[in-house]
Structure 1
Amino acid sequence: MNVRPALSLALLSLASFAFTASASESVVECVDLGSDQEILRAGNGQQIFLRDGQTHYRIGFGRTCDSIQMTSSVKISTDGQDNRLCPSGTKVRTKEANCAVNALEVISAEEFAKRKKRVSR
């Protein structure tokens, strides 16, 4: 029995799994957002996806943020500072509500594009 092909396949699978597992990473420091932004509403008010320049984020809420699905205006702030996104203390404001952020991850441009395609259907 030739072990090399099986070993090569196993290593390739492991490398593929490691790449998939690192497709998103938690944000550990605050980020000052720029003016080139795009927001995708998804997940029945449980999360949004944000493109800020060339960086992409998944922003999750502790409780469902129903107003996020229907609002025309979204503002992100932390401790009263607009356009500041932090791992804790960040709020997403709509005209009707303030929604507390409880999850913040950097995602790939490919993941953002995939989400954008789903939303546009």
Structure 2
Amino acid sequence: MLLPTRIALATLLTFAASAAFADPIDACVDLGAKPKISRLGDKAVLVKDSDSYYRLNVKSCYDLSFTQQFEVSTEKQKGRICPTGTRVRTNRDNCEVAQVEKIDEAAYRKFGGR
């Protein structure tokens, strides 16, 4: 029984650590001309826009774990992320974003951003 307890504790600590770096956004953000967007597993994408960093947690997105190309938009306006209504378009899917979080550079790098 000790192993499942350790796994649960490690999961909780990882979530708490990642939450410490993240703040949900409360207003829309218009991204610059060339934001860097990269996959974070099959449930999120990372966005680097100049000196600003975001993690977009998606509800469900089959293509997210396979694609290399992403486009972010809100209400069909490319390059815009908002607290609600944001979507991540991949080669074959149009994925609804559940939450947009502003993160710091350390969190961005921790999650694998370059």
**1:21 positional shift:** 6.1
Residue by residue over 1:2-58, the C-alpha shift from the partner in whole angstroms, topping out at 9 and shown as x without a partner, is xxxxxxxxxxxxxxxxxx865211101000011232222123x11111111110001
Which amino acid is the alignment partner of residue 35 of structure 1? A
Partner of 1:25: 23
Partner of 1:58: 55
Which amino acid is the alignment partner of residue 28 of structure 2? C
Q: Secondary structure at the match of 1:58?
A: strand
Q: Which among 67, 74, 79 is matched to residue 78 of structure 1?
A: 74
Q: Count how many residue pairs are aligned between Structure 1 and Structure 2.
A: 97
Q: Which among 84, 87, 93 is matched to residue 91 of structure 1?
A: 87
What is the aligned-residue identity percentage? 32
Q: Secondary structure at the match of 1:59?
A: strand
Gaps of 5+ in 2: 1-17
Q: How does 1:4-23 map to 2 (within 5 A)?
A: 22-23=20-21
What TM-score comes out, normalization by structure 2 length?
0.76
Question: How far apart, CA to CA, are the structure 1 residues paired with 2:74 and 2:38?
Answer: 20
Gaps of 5+ in 1: 1-19
Q: Which among 24, 34, 46 is matched to residue 43 of structure 2?
A: 46
Partner of 2:107: 111
Runs of 4 or more, structure 1, over 2 Å off, are 20-23
**1:72 positional shift:** 3.1
Q: Secondary structure at the match of 1:68?
A: helix
Partner of 1:9: none
